[in-house]
């Protein structure tokens, strides 16, 4: 999807929300030419007014499911069995 400059979209995160700390909505935005991840929580003020609290982070694409493994053992380590 091609995003217009300085716009974004949020989608419900209800299926993935396990605790109150998880966002109610997630999405991405193109801000000043940079793709950003967005998260939003629906809150209520002390006066009873509903509002959305937003968080922006650098966008990190989801991995394709392939896992990378690293080792701390030296490459010439002897295996004792």
Please report, in tens digits, the pLDDT of each residue of the chain (81 residues total): 678 999 999 999 999 999 999 999 999 999 999 999 999 999 999 999 999 999 999 999 877 655 555 555 555 556 555
Model confidence, pTM: 0.71
- The C-alpha atoms of residue 39 and residue 41 are separated, in whole angstroms, by 7
| Residues 6 or more apart in contact with residue 27 via CB below 8 angstroms | 8, 9, 10, 11, 37, 38
Give me the residue spans of the domains in the chain. 7-58
DSSP string, 13-70: -TTT--STTS-SEEEEEEETTEEEEEEEEEEE-TTS-EEEEEEEEE--PPP-SPPP--
């Amino acid at each position: 999807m091609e995003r217009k400059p300085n716009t974004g979209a949020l989608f419900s995160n209800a299926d993935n929300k396990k605790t109150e700390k998880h966002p109610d909505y997630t999405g991405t935005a193109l801000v000043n030419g940079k793709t950003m991840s967005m998260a939003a929580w629906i809150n209520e003020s002390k006066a009873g007014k509903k509002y959305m609290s937003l968080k922006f982070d650098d966008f990190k694409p989801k991995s394709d499911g392939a896992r990378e493994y690293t080792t701390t053992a030296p490459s010439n380590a002897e295996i004792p069995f």
